[in-house]
Structure 1
Amino acid sequence: MDNRLQELTEKIYREGLEKGNQEAEKIISAAKAQAEEIIKKARAEEIRILEEAKKASAEMRENTMAELRLSMRQAMNNLRQEITDLISKKVTSQAVKGIPDDPAFIRDILLAVAANWSPDKSGRTDLVVLLPASREKELREYFLSKATDLLKKGLELKFDENLTSGFEITPADGSFRISFTDEVFENFLRDYLKPRLMDYLFEK
């Protein structure tokens, strides 16, 4: 059952990822042009420094150039990393913003979980969903009007003062918890996107 829930969780995260892909592609395209301009300036600076290094004495030339090349490689690597981090943060935060707070999205996730969750074979859900206390009135009314079947099967709504966005699902016995928050979706998308973004921006 844990494997099924894990697979379901991964599927849900992937669906959230797909929703952000279109916006991500637009931002990446614009950011690539900006990144190329930054790199162009950095390379011009590299040339300037190299020209100055040529004026160094012959005795120090070899060591100076070796250290300079190392410094420039490190500087370029740091620059690439900073650009990638900046863009991936912007892309992911915009791509997932508000997704876990949409009542219809919450309902759809719970329907998917409930359809695959019935440990005692009774058909009862026996799951608890933790929601932000600040949205209790809105969400309670929504579930009472749009998700009565889930409530009848044993789904329990709880509202947590410490939860500011998204929601969490846990079985009634509290043995584990699955989080669906902006932070979780953003981290998942960022881990997925960062290596691909690095290759895209700085392809050789």
Structure 2
Amino acid sequence: MRLLDREIRKYNELLFVDGYNIINSWNSLKNTSMDELEESRRTLIDILMEFKHYTHEGVVLVFDSYNVKTDRQVIMEEKLLIVYTKEFETADHFIERSVEKYGRKKKIRVATSDRLEQDIILGKGATRISAKELEYEIENFYREVKKIQAVEKIKNKRHLGSLKQDSLKALEKYKEKMLKK
């Protein structure tokens, strides 16, 4: 729990994500087998890690381990906090307690499409974002990143275009040499 508290202190704004709720709400992540569930979980983690690089919010992804005999696990992957709840603890319960604990000091959003959970966290002072709204927000984020990358690519081409032909050839030879290593 120390890792969680230490990391959460770094942010004024937090986004808690109910992992399995999102997986079961997004068509791109829905699955039918346990193998696919692991793949969906990994995909969601990757998406949120990428998203985290461009947001000012602390992002906490929470997965239920309700029926698994285990203690709570908190893992940090590239600034994304991933929580696997302990036995008999739901993601909803963990998120509710976190909102109670940090809600007075931080601005908190909770991503879930569970209507009851939305009502509870609203009552505790957090704001809600549905699974669809989160998906839309992330899609917009990816569109913006692509626009920025396109502009950067154009800038780089302009810069390379101003180089003399012999300099470009030298760079190309160096690139080939490095690729052979």
For normalisation by structure 2, the TM-score amounts to 0.28
Q: Which has the higher contact order (CA 8 A, sep 6+)?
A: 1
Normalized per residue, which structure has more strand? 2
For normalisation by structure 1, the TM-score amounts to 0.26
Max radius of gyration: which structure?
A: 1
Normalized per residue, which structure has more helix? 1
